[in-house]
Amino acid sequence: MHPNLGFGGAERVLVEEVRALAGADVAVDVFLTGNPELRHLEPDLRAAHPRVERIEAATSSGGLARRLVHDRHALVVTCIDPRGLRAAAHARRFPWRRRPAVVAVVHSRYPAAVHGLGGRARAADVVVVTDDVVDALAPALGLPPARFAVARPLVAAFLPAVGEAERVAARALRASFGVGDGATLLGLHGRIAPDKGVLETVDAWRRLVAEGHDVHLVVAGRRVEPTEWGGAAFLAAFDDRRRAVAADPALARRFHEVGAGPTPLALLCALDLFLLPSQHEGLMPLAILEALAVGTPVVATAVGGIGRCLVDGRDAVLLPRDPDDGSPHPPGFPATLAAAVAPLLADPARRARLGEAGHARARALVATNTFHADFRAACDRALVATRSPPLGNAATTAPCP
């Protein structure tokens, strides 16, 4: 169960969870509990497992619970999904049928990640965390640490392959943006939402242009829905900045917004710097991992697991957050971000060193990771806890495409 299949890091992790089950003789149904219209990753999901049977909307937790029991689902995996946990709790109320084993996936330790879960997490036999944050999440969810498992989602499928075609497309993209010789292109790719530091990035870029730097900014990704948490206020503020930029000729020709779509490798290759000054993250944002994988240097906040995976000044430029509690950035943060970016604008050699080191680090992180096996082990734990047979001894890591 997952809110949607839009382009996003959490959704890509869902695909890898399904891929992890491909080595077992099981069928998989996927229920969309949020926005069922976002189905961009459905082809990826079906390619990950030959026995993905149904992908459909779940209209209510009660109806979903009845479906789980009636269809005799042995295992339920909920991904950042309070409705799924409610359905799993409802399924316990059918004593004449064996209840399904339940695995709840949580991506970070911040209040935003556990909002709405509350006591519903008790319906989970195992809580899978995708970062080493059990000590923080156990008291937050009121569960013993023994109920948790860690599966770090750094897999080979997240490392894009870049060839000459992408490099040629990147050069064409820079030309279409009007990025001339001596100019630099900054980019932010991901969900266009309040917690990703989008407003602060725009403000920092405007500050750099005012200081005389010939720097362009591209913002790419799906805008948050107005009904999502903080969405309406954020979109109003973002559109205010868009209007101010459009009214200034010096800024207007240097600002480029690109809509939602598959990860644009040409765009990542075209960038001189990738920015992601998030307020909070999980282990390692997919957008950062992809930027590093193509050799684009990264400037980010050291939130979540970013500061444990990367070394400031070697693999990336990291801005500290103290405390790292997911709260909004302070008013002076755009100036801090601009000050971190400015020295890199006129130093292509340093950018190249950061890009090379980041590329090597991304591949090293993936090479030592065992996400598929760890996720399979967590599912087996949940099945055994409900006296159901485990998935078996089939290969625990399915090949990546």
What letter would DSSP give residue 349?
Answer: H
Q: Is residue 1 part of a domain?
A: no
Q: Any alpha helices (H) in 247-332, and if so which ranges?
A: 249-252, 265-270, 286-293, 306-309
Kindly state whether residue 60 falls inside one of the protein's structural domains: yes
- Does residue 310 contact residue 361 with C-beta atoms inside 8 Å? yes
**pLDDT at 155 (0 to 100):** 92
Note whether residue 391 is domain-resident.
Answer: no
Q: Does the residue 392 lie in any domain?
A: no
Assess whether 200 and 180 both reside in one domain. yes
d(Cα 266, Cα 165) in Å, to the nearest integer? Answer: 9
Spatial CB neighbours of 223, under 8 Å, sequence gap ≥ 6 = 192, 193, 235, 238, 260
Q: Does one domain contain both 107 and 211? A: no
The whole-number pLDDT of residue 97 equals 66
Q: How far apart are CA 191 and CA 116, in angstroms?
A: 21
| Dihedral of alpha carbons 4, 374, 358, 312, sign | positive
Q: How confident is the model at residue 52 (pLDDT cuts 50, 70, 90)?
A: very high
Residue scoring higher pLDDT (314 or 90): 314
Query: Do residues 198 and 289 share a domain?
Result: yes
| Residues 6+ away with beta carbon under 8 Å from 300 | 275, 276, 277, 278, 285, 288, 306, 310, 316, 317, 318, 319
- The mean pLDDT value of the chain amounts to 90
Q: CA torsion, points 238, 340, 208, 246, in degrees to nearest 10?
A: -20
Residues 16 and 95 in one domain: yes
Least trusted range by pLDDT, from 48-52, 108-112, 262-266: 262-266
Find the range with the poorest average confidence among 177-191, 321-335, 381-395. Answer: 381-395
Confidence of residue 232 (pLDDT cuts 50, 70, 90): very high
Establish if 105 belongs to a structural domain. yes
Q: What is the arithmetic mean of pLDDT over 239-243? A: 97
Q: What is the pLDDT of residues 247-286, one digit of tens each?
A: 999 999 999 998 876 658 899 999 999 999 999 999 999 9
Structural domain includes residue 398: no
The structure tokens listed for 268 are 């990542």
What's the token pair of residue 138?
Answer: 């156990």
Q: Are residues 308 and 203 in the same domain?
A: yes
Structure tokens at 122: 């008790």
Taking the C-alpha atoms of residue 146 and residue 318, their distance in angstroms, rounded to an integer, is 33
Both 130 and 202 in one domain: the answer is no
For the residues 74-96, what does the mean pLDDT come to?
81
Which pLDDT value is given to residue 303? Answer: 97
Distance separating alpha carbons of residues 40 and 12, to the nearest angstrom: 11
Picking from 85-99, 261-275, 314-328, which range would have the lowest pLDDT averaged per residue?
Answer: 85-99
Q: How far is 361 from 363, CA to CA, in rounded Å?
A: 5
Domain count, the chain: 2
283 φ/ψ sector (left φ>0, alpha ψ -120 to 50, else beta): alpha
Residue 400's pLDDT is: 30
Q: Tell me which amino acid residue 320 is.
A: P
Q: Which two tokens stand for residue 324?
A: 């790292």
Within 8 A by CB and 6+ apart from 236, the residues are none
- Residue 111 shares a structural domain with residue 187: no
Whether 96 and 209 map to the same domain: the answer is no
Range of the domain at 357: 160-366
Q: Which of 194, 237, 196, 199 is nearest to 217 (CA)?
A: 199
> Please, are residues 225 and 267 in contact by the beta-carbon 8 Å criterion?
no
The pLDDT of residue 261 = 67
d(CA 199, CA 273): 17
Kindly state whether residues 86 and 129 are assigned to the same domain. Answer: yes
> Are 179 and 137 contained in the same domain?
no
293 within some domain: yes
Please check the confidence at residue 398 and state whether its pLDDT lies above 80. Answer: no
H-helix or E-strand spanning residue 348: helix 348-367
pLDDT of residue 401: 30
pLDDT on residue 92? 73
Q: Check whether residue 142 and residue 242 sit in a common domain.
A: no
pLDDT of residue 227: 76
Higher per-residue pLDDT: 240 or 99: 240
Return the CATH number at 198. Answer: 3.40.50.2000
With 80 as the cut, is the pLDDT of residue 399 above it?
Answer: no
CA 130 to each of CA 134, 152, 185, 258, 396: distance values in angstroms, whole numbers, following the listed order: 10, 5, 32, 29, 17
**Is residue 196 domain-shared with residue 116, that is, in the same domain?**
no
CB atoms within 10 A of CB 39: 16
Is the confidence at residue 221, as pLDDT, over 50?
yes
Tell me which of 31-45, 83-97, 197-211 is least confident.
83-97
Position 392 scores a pLDDT of 65
pLDDT at 361 over 60: yes
DSSP 76: E
Q: Which one has a higher pLDDT value, 235 or 59? A: 235
The confidence score (pLDDT) of residue 395 equals 38
For residue 396, pLDDT beyond 70 = no
299 domain residue, yes or no: yes
